[in-house]
Chains A and B, each alone.
Chain A
Amino acid sequence: MKASTSAQARVARSRSAANKYLTFVLGSEHYGLPILKVQEIIGILDITPVPRMPAHVRGVVNLRGKVIPVIDLRLRFGIEAQADTKRTCIVVVQIRPAAGADPVTLGMVVDVVSEVQDIPADQIEPAPAFGTTVDTAYILGVGKIAKRVVILLDIDRVLTSSEVVAAADAAPTASKP
């Protein structure tokens, strides 16, 4: 049986993607994103700054004809800014600002993209509670790989709660200038 091409196998493949995370580095920490949220990874390119935006909004870029916002994840997490290096990447993700809203594509600047890691559900623990001092709402959990910990991000929350992502319909269309 040509199992590899069967519909069943496709479903099975997709299911297995549920445990895969794209891991990357910001400062000294390792982070992970569910791979299904990731649209693509591009090298750093010229970013057009947009005036009067929160500090962590680097600006916009042209992604094959689509203008998408780019967020500096370091600044979003309050990590000291650093100059872009050759290894700096933009991870393009699709998020939903709210249930039922249209998905929004945006880019996130990260220090280094590491690899796609398989993290089984039983290797993921909920983020420890820090009381009210540390907001953990945007953390899906903490994955354990060998000796390392990977902070798994609920990217919809990371970007929505940052007030960056306005509902798509609130975005300024070119109202008759």
Chain B
Amino acid sequence: MDSGLDGDLMTVFLDEAAEALVQAADRLLALDRGNDPGAVEDAFRPIHSVKGNCAFFGLMRAKALAHDTESVLDHLRQGRLLATGPLVTLLLEAVDALRTMLADVRAGRGEAPTAAAAEALRNRLREAAGDASVDGAGLLDAIRVAEEHWLHGGEARPALRQALETLIRHARATAGASTAAGPAGGLHPALETLRTWLGRALADTPDEAALAEAGTLLDRLAADCPGEAGVLAGMLRDGFRLTATATGFDDLLQGWLAEGVERLSALPGAAAAAPGPVAPQAPAAEPGRTMRVSEERIDTFLRLVGELLVVADMLGHIDRRVRRMPGAEGVARDLRRALDTFNTLSGQLQQAIMTVRKVPARPLLHKVPRLVRDLAAGCGRQITAEIAGEDTEIDKRLLDLLDAPLLHLVRNACDHGIESAERRAAAGKSVEGHVRVTLTTGAASVTLAVEDDGGGIDPERIRQAARRQGLIPAGSHPDDADAMQLIFSSGLSTAERVSDVSGRGVGLDAVKRDIEAVGGTVSVTSRRGEGTRFALTVPKQATTQIIGGYLVRAGGQLLVLPLERVRETFQAEPGALGSIPGGGRMIQRHGRMLPVLSLGERLGLACGTVRALVVVECRRRPFALEVESVVGVQKVVVRPLVGLPPSALVAGAALMGDGSAALIIAPDGLIDGAPHV
């Protein structure tokens, strides 16, 4: 299979495509609400670029689907089709199918799983496109032919040129009208600039700044030029992107780009609504220049910064030793000062990298209106969605974490929360229900709230359901607040009917479990007849876990005990050890008998001579662990053991200065199943 071969490029493309498709769906929704004339154009562009890239990566099924979607959008844009509700729904379905398909590709499943569904969609799209009048079909064909050839590169130059000629002739023919409509001039200076930048960008040693500038200019041209000139600029831009992402510049594409710019500047009609003259000498003035960095790289960076803290800890040890050295006061003072600076800087560095991990919550919240629209349609209710806080920046991990719970709560709100129109009318409420999702951040936490103005939760119904399902004893009568908490218990369902969406009694308990697993809380407040509010609060930081480690050697291995569990270390005096019938061993310490365990033996390692006993708290009781030696105290960064079955004995691994990995022992696991304890 082809996909997955060109790994890096492919990943970048899939990321971009996922974003572009979300954007497209978003714009289609705007179109549905009928208040945004630019929506079709905005939806068209992302689909177009996804299509081009799909072809580049050999994802021909996705490309075909994108192509048909694009055709319908193009008809819409040209006014040959009307944006009816069903048509928008069809387009949304197509965008969803594309997303699923690309998600499958990303997951290594290829395009096949959704192929049949995609084919069916394509038929419907083609049918819809068939309703359009055929004006301008020649132009569309010309664009398509040009693209096909261009995408497959190689021998296509003559065909490409011919297609371009057609395209430009066509553009010229339609140009008159647009020139009349808008102010002339303005484009030519921009094009001159573009040519200069392209010249530099396409030189033998490409100039990064020039590449970026030329890309930006083409973006603006594509966005601002009316009609065909915009399409041409869009194609140029896409071509440019492809050449820019590939490692080198292909001669054909280079030539084509240069030629395209010539043509574009020769296009009189392109002048209308042109971007104003740009000042390439001041690229710094452009706000919010960003770059795409893989999450993995940032996490690596974060981990390395974590290691710095370990170094700071080691330096602290040295510092304390130096201070105790007679005659080294001057050095100690200097070291202290250097160390303070180092600590401050590494702290700042950690803060800075935490900021890098932050992303706007937009992708999370923007799914909500769409979901609500679909759910409302599904249950025949009128529900509007409102989101707030989408510009709030939160850790990327939280974005992923909150996704499933959010969707679940929104489903619940639409399906159970909002009443039917009749009931709402009878209760004197507006027929239209509201679901509001807000994201807010506090000092150390992020809160995601899902509110509805529905009927609220009736504690009595919960009590009844819980009793019926045996979740509470028959006689007991929990108060309203306690009863509300029961909705988070596994298996409880108050839904009178099981719908497509929810009511299967799985979910809220899962939401609670997921949120609590990361140290968060879930709360619910509800007023009968007025609505319900669920709030998920999770800690803000994705922390690299750093713990104080107590390093010992046992069974010939270097092992880390969590410092917070270590009480003391002492040497066993000969004869102090006693054993009880059945084999358990014990030792007297501070007038108390402590059970004795051999750490090495518990780990199944061959044990050497025991030189020390470390008193460690396991399940709140002290145990004396026999070790061969105590190495010292050190901060360690906890690395999970990914790819191994979970172990009760091992909490992870820590990297040692010599490059080895030392296991971090989970003390509680030591006594579980230990004999004679």
Contacts and interface: CB of A to CB of B under 8 A. Distances in A.
B641 A62 contact: no
B660 A48 contact: yes
A137 interface: no
B154 interface: yes
Nearest to B558: A48
Given A15-B5, A50-B650, A61 B246 contact: no
A100 B638 CA distance: 26
How extensive is the interface on chain B, given as a class?
35 or more
Contact of A49 (B300, B547, B557, B667): B557
A124 B9 CA distance: 30
Given A174-B651, A175-B651, A164 B645 contact: yes
B666 A171 contact: no
Interface in A54-68: 57, 60-62, 65-68
A47 to B, nearest CB: 9
A52 interface: yes
B605 A49 contact: yes
Interface in A76-127: 96-97, 99-100, 104-106
Given A51-B604, A100-B107, A171 B643 contact: yes
Contacts of B243: 7
A177 B562 contact: yes
A7 B252 CA distance: 11
A166 B645 contact: yes
B268 interface: no
A29 interface: no
A163 B649 CA distance: 18
A162 B479 CA distance: 51
Interface string B594-621: 0000000011110000000000000000
B109 interface: yes
A177 B667 contact: yes
A57 B647 CA distance: 13
A150 interface: no
Nearest to B108: A96
Nearest to B661: A62
A5 interface: yes
A171 B565 contact: no
A68 B557 CA distance: 18
Contacts of A166: 643-646
A68 B152 CA distance: 41
A45 B557 CA distance: 15
B640 interface: yes
Contacts of A11: 2, 5-6, 56-58
B252 A106 contact: no
Interface in B44-91: 56-58
A18 interface: yes
A38 to B, nearest CB: 13
Given A62-B661, A166-B646, A17 B5 contact: yes
A1 B649 contact: no
A29 B472 CA distance: 62
A32 interface: no
A12 B668 CA distance: 55
A121 B9 CA distance: 26
B247 A10 contact: yes
A53 B645 CA distance: 8
B545 to A, nearest CB: 5
Contacts of A17: 5
A105 B660 contact: no
A163 B645 contact: yes
Interface string B228-264: 0000000000000011011111111000000000000
Contacts of A15: 2, 5
A65 to B, nearest CB: 6
B411 interface: no
A5 B304 CA distance: 35
A1 B644 contact: no
A97 B653 CA distance: 21
A36 B4 contact: yes
A165 interface: yes
B358 interface: no
A50 to B, nearest CB: 6
A97 B564 CA distance: 35
A103 to B, nearest CB: 9
A132 interface: no
B662 A48 contact: yes
A67 B645 contact: no
A172 interface: yes
A163 B645 CA distance: 8
B377 interface: no
A71 B226 CA distance: 61
Contacts of A104: 642-643
A147 interface: no
Contacts of B651: 172-175, 177
Interface string B640-677: 11111111011111010001111111111000000000
Interface in B141-192: 152-154
> Taking each of B249, B547, B557, B643, which has the highest tally of chain A beta carbons within 10 Å of its own beta carbon?
B643
A6 B246 contact: yes
Given A48-B663, A51-B605, A165-B643, A5 B250 contact: yes
Nearest to B307: A65
A48 B247 CA distance: 40
A168 B643 CA distance: 6
Contacts of A14: 2, 5-6
Interface string B1-17: 11011100100000000
8 contacts: A7-B246, A8-B250, A15-B5, A52-B649, A60-B641, A68-B643, A105-B642, A105-B643
Given A164-B643, A174-B664, 19 more contacts: A2-B251, A6-B248, A6-B250, A10-B6, A49-B605, A50-B647, A51-B649, A67-B639, A67-B640, A67-B641, A67-B655, A104-B643, A171-B646, A172-B651, A174-B651, A174-B652, A175-B666, A177-B562, A177-B667
Smallest CB-CB A-B distances: 3 pairs: A5-B248, A14-B5, A7-B246
